[in-house]
Amino acid sequence: MQEKTFKSKYSFNGKKRNNNSRHNFFGKRQNNTQELETSRYVRKAVSGALPEEYIPKNQFSNFEVSSQLKKNIAEHGYVKPTPIQDQVIPIILQGRDLLGIANTGTGKTASFLIPLIEKILKNKNERVLIITPTRELALQIVDELKAFSKSLNIYSAICIGGSGISNQIFALKRNPNFVIGTPGRLKDLINRRCLNLSTVSNVVLDEVDRMLDMGFVNEIKHLISLLPAKRQSLFFSATVSKEADNLIGRLLTNPVKISVKSGDTPDNVEQDVVRVKDKSKKIESLHDLLIKEEFKKVLIFGRTKRGVEHLSNTLRERGFKAGSIHGNKSQAKREQVLRLFKTNQLQTLVATDVAARGLDIADITHVINYDPPATYDDYIHRIGRTGRANKTGKALTFIG
């Protein structure tokens, strides 16, 4: 059988490779399995690959929500509903359970916040629990909630690790309308008898596949077991594994299934590999890339917390404006670095996979997998940080 070869335009030093080369990053021919694995990280962006314009059935102006909420939606810059918002908001307003299958970056946060805010406006006794896999996603949901609930006297408590628990306990004593948190901290607060889920009338599990990847299945099952039988349950995930299907059976009752998931990776993200023969040259290869004019706002993924911190420090020593986020950083430091990156005061953010889900940062030009992802699902979510809002993005994966 003829051997299949795959060529990257990048050699170990970050420059375009000779197209006549048929050698892999070990200096030897690849077998078919290895080539297939590498080829998953390479894909040309399709010229003009903007998705066909979606024509929503609804407008924000004609959703059955309060005038002040409509005003807040408009002030937040929302012009017309995305596909998931268009299809999901009416279902949630009807009180139905929902299974939402959607890629990252489709606008699902607004799709559940808007109708849940409206439910609370109609009945102040409604309580909402939102469970997320990461602190960053929880913080983003809180920011969105504050924007949508402006002047509506709706209160929230965020319950995440890395932040002082005493402030979170105080916020819970105010009997907030929304509690947004990560599974571990929520369980801790329940054990301290500071959080009672028996009054929760609405629950949202967001990015469920990521929570399962992070090993939260037992915590999620425990939290679900404490919820009242009479509730509205909303379940969002990019994929539905056997384990996720088991949770669906525990959580949802006769759900409506809405899927707006497209292909695994977006057409407008160009994907390629950087082949590194000599590991000692790896940082030089990255340096050669980052000094290029087109690498304006770069998110780099590493495998370990220690490795991410070391790489960030090395880049700063080389004169790059770089920061890092990982599990060993305090929540305050993580928020500070994210703020600097979002406001373009940093060119480069180095992160563990904690940043692969949920982060909505505008205008990331490149995602670089300095360490290859553990799974292809991780890869999909990593590169989903670029090419957002129908812009073109680029993703590079170091192989060596």
94-110 in b/e form (b: 16+ CB < 10 A) is eebbbbbbbbbbbbbbb
Q: Is residue 395 part of a domain?
A: yes
326, 218: one domain: no
In the 8-state DSSP scheme, what is residue 56? -
* Residue from 141, 304, 24 nearest 5 by CA: 24
CB 339 within 8 A of CB 325: no
Listed residues 230, 259, 288: the one ending a domain: 259
Asked which of 204, 239, 259 is the last residue of a domain, the reply is: 259
User: Residue 227 is part of a domain; what is its CATH number?
Assistant: 3.40.50.300
Torsion of CA 159, 161, 166, 170, to 10 degrees: -10
Q: Yes or no: say if 236 and 258 are a contact pair by the CB < 8 Å rule.
A: no
**Amino acid residing at 101:** I
| Strand 98-101 with 269-275, pairing | unpaired
Residues 80, 214, single domain; the answer is yes
* Residue 25: inside a domain: no
Is residue 42 domain-shared with residue 101, that is, in the same domain? no
Output the pLDDT for position 357. Answer: 61
User: 244 to each of 205, 217, 225, 296, 304, how far by Cα in Å?
Assistant: 11, 9, 16, 38, 26
Q: Kindly report the pTM of this predicted structure.
A: 0.76
Tell whether 142 and 217 lie within a shared domain: yes
Residue 276 structural domain: 32-49+264-399
- Say yes or no: 277 and 234 in one domain: no
Claim to verify: residue 294 and residue 205 sit in the same structural domain: no
Name which residue leads in pLDDT, 236 or 18: 236
Domain count, the chain: 2
Distance (Å, rounded) from C-alpha 133 to C-alpha 136?
A: 9
143 and 252 share one domain: yes
Average pLDDT over residues 386-393: 77
Whether residue 241 is found in the same domain as residue 313: no
What pLDDT digit, counting tens, does each position of 132-158 carry? 998 889 999 999 999 999 999 999 999
Q: How confident is the model at residue 34 (pLDDT cuts 50, 70, 90)?
A: very low
Write down which residue in 203, 228, 259 finishes a domain: 259
Lowest mean pLDDT among 13-27, 199-213, 231-245, 273-287: 13-27
